[in-house]
Amino acid sequence: MANAIANITLSRLESLCDEAFRRAGLSAADAATGAAVLSTTDAWGVFTHGSKALRGYLRRLLAGGLRADGRPAVASSGPSFALVDGDSSLGMVTSVFAMELAIEKARQTGTAYVGVHNSCHFGAAGYYAAMAAHSGLIGLAMANDIPSVAAPGSRGAVTGSNPFAYAVPAGRYPPLLLDMSIATVAGGKVYAARERGEAIPFGWLIDDRGLPTDEAGAYPERATLTPAAGHKGYGLALLVESLSGALSGAAMTSAIRSWLGDDPGLPTLHGAAFLAIDPQAIAPDLPARIADLIDEIRAAPKADGVDRIYVPGEMEWERQAVARERGVALPPDVIASLREGTALVGLDLDDYLMAPGTAKELA
């Protein structure tokens, strides 16, 4: 992020998303929810899952595959679980509803699982995990998706990239926060190498015979992403599929529709899972102990050339603090997508961007 120049304030970015969602038919409350998720994700620097995705959501809202007036509702529940029918509403709306429910239930019993069906792409899993941690609970969030990652020994895609996130309250520090895909690297990294004409390390992709390749240009037509750490990432993918697909009543793997590529007039049928555990009832000293653990990790001897050892989420919280003060430097691909997306609902991105020359460096 060094020397990046902000091009939009965080509040204007959130306003833009909010206005766009309202123009696409969402209620004020739902638009605000979607805008908060997307702008927070950009503030964290996770630009692949922030406002860049607005265009795709708006297309589906306008075409009806996402229902602007959809209302997530509890389909079944017990003391420490619930299933939520997302009613094809915006994935962020259903997911916030579901995690709020998981938090409420965990406060009653200690732990809770909430599974979601009839959802769509939900953006950054970490947002929902962080909701729990901001409320003092441990949170986990995950979702399934169309196949895009190989299994060990497969020739093509078998599982989704199945995001998995957790957050843990850390007392005097911001929560621990991990948001990972089960793939070795994101497809975006391969695209970037492809655009630069560079080879990639062996291990990121398999070719159309299922063998390792360093040819970025083969992706995605003739190559497939690999699971992180081989059988470990593949195994985690199936845990995510079990909890967010099989247990939630959602579609799985090839029965899910692509939220970007398939007919925007049809529901995508994604599933998701949200778990919350309440330390207040179990071990109220947990946040303080996590803070001490963070101190211990930070004080550990560092590798040559390394100044800091980060804990999961630390970079994101620091970027968010900078974003609140100085704004966000949306990368060119995000700007392009956001311009096109907001134009779909008659908005002009330039009305929201900072005037050139007025922004400060972010680093």
Q: Which of residues 7-66 bind its own copies (CB under 8 A)?
A: none
Binding to its own copies by residue 109, rule CB under 8 A? Answer: yes
Query: At residue 41, what is the residue type?
Result: T
Nearer Cβ to its own copies (35/193)? 193
Q: How crowded is residue 194: how many other Cβ atoms within 10 Å of its Cβ?
A: 16
Nearer Cβ to its own copies (2/303)? 303
Q: How far is the CB of 5 from its own copies (least distance, A)?
A: 27
Nearer Cβ to its own copies (123/279)? 279
* C-beta of residue 175 within 8 angstroms of C-beta of residue 134: yes
Residue whose pair of structure tokens reads 């190989």 in the numeric block = 150
Letters for 254-293 (x = contact with its own copies by CB under 8 A, - = none) are x--------------------x-x-x-xxx--x--xx--x
Token pair of 339 as six digits: 């311009």
Nearer Cβ to its own copies (9/226)? 226
- The Cα–Cα gap between 230 and 153 comes to 10
DSSP 8-state assignment for residue 1: -
Which of 14, 42, 85, 241 binds its own copies (CB under 8 A)? It is 241
Which of 78, 325, 348, 363 binds its own copies (CB under 8 A)? It is 78
Nearer Cβ to its own copies (7/184)? 184
Q: 251 — alpha (psi -120 to 50), left (phi > 0) or beta?
A: beta
Task: Cis check for the bond before 220: say yes or no (omega within 30 of 0).
Answer: yes
Q: How far is the CB of 248 from its own copies (least distance, A)?
A: 7
Q: Looking at 46-54, 72-80, 323-331, 350-358, which segment touches its own copies (CB under 8 A)?
A: 72-80
Give residues 110-139 in contact with its own copies (rule: CB under 8 A).
Answer: 110-113, 115, 138
Q: For the stretch 329-363, what's the b/e string if a residue is b when 16 or more beta carbons lie within 10 angstroms of its beta carbon?
A: bbbeebbebbeebbebbebebeebbbeeeebeebe
Q: How far is the CB of 30 from its own copies (least distance, A)?
A: 27
Binding to its own copies by residue 297, rule CB under 8 A? Answer: yes
Nearer Cβ to its own copies (197/301)? 301
Q: How far is the CB of 154 from its own copies (least distance, A)?
A: 5
**Of residues 115, 113, 127, the one with CA closest to residue 34:** 127
DSSP 8-state assignment for residue 183: B
**Sign of the dihedral through C-alpha 312, 332, 338, 5:** positive
Nearer Cβ to its own copies (6/142)? 142
- The Cα–Cα gap between 57 and 16 comes to 14
DSSP 8-state assignment for residue 342: H
Nearer Cβ to its own copies (289/360)? 289
Q: How far is the CB of 80 from its own copies (least distance, A)?
A: 4
Letters for 135-174 (x = contact with its own copies by CB under 8 A, - = none) are ---x------------xxxxxx-x-------x-x------
Which of 17, 24, 46, 83 binds its own copies (CB under 8 A)? It is 83
Q: Looking at 27-35, 50-58, 177-185, 330-338, which segment touches its own copies (CB under 8 A)?
A: 177-185
State the first-to-last Cα distance of the chain, in angstroms, to the nearest integer.
6
Q: Helices 54-63 and 10-23, interaxial angle, to 10°?
A: 10
Give residues 180-219 in contact with its own copies (rule: CB under 8 A).
Answer: 180, 184, 206, 209-211
Dihedral angle over CA of 96, 80, 179, 336, nearest 10 = -20
